[in-house]
Amino acid sequence: MEITEVKVTLVNQEQLKAYVTLVLDECFVIRDVKVIHGPKGHFVAMPSKKRKDGTFRDIAHPINRETREKLEGTILQAYEDSSGNHIEDVRNLEEEDREEGSESQELNV
């Protein structure tokens, strides 16, 4: 099994940090995988459905440790890359705003 695409959608909530969509072998998609920040750091929650009794049950999930570790590692790395890029993009925009502001101030002086 190859993970051929990972799409991360960042979310700005206290615990929920991102939704992830995975494509396996360019032919199977898994949506709504979550990256959650818990007491011990970030972890991956597979898509689940709420049952009538109020409990949740995974809709799709790995059935062995090797596959789980591969998925989690890939997902968490993609999240870190995306959130790092996002933070860098915000810093670049802030820096551009400051530069534009100083240029405007210089013109007004």
Q: Are 61 and 46 in contact (CB under 8 A)?
A: yes
The Cα–Cα gap between 107 and 20 comes to 46
Domains and CATH numbers, the chain: 3-108 (3.30.1120.40)
Residue 105, pLDDT score: 41
Could you report the per-residue pLDDT of 5-63, keeping only the tens digit for each? 999 999 989 999 999 999 999 999 999 999 999 999 899 999 999 999 999 999 999 99
**pTM summary value:** 0.72
13's tokens = 């909530």
The Cα–Cα gap between 49 and 55 comes to 8
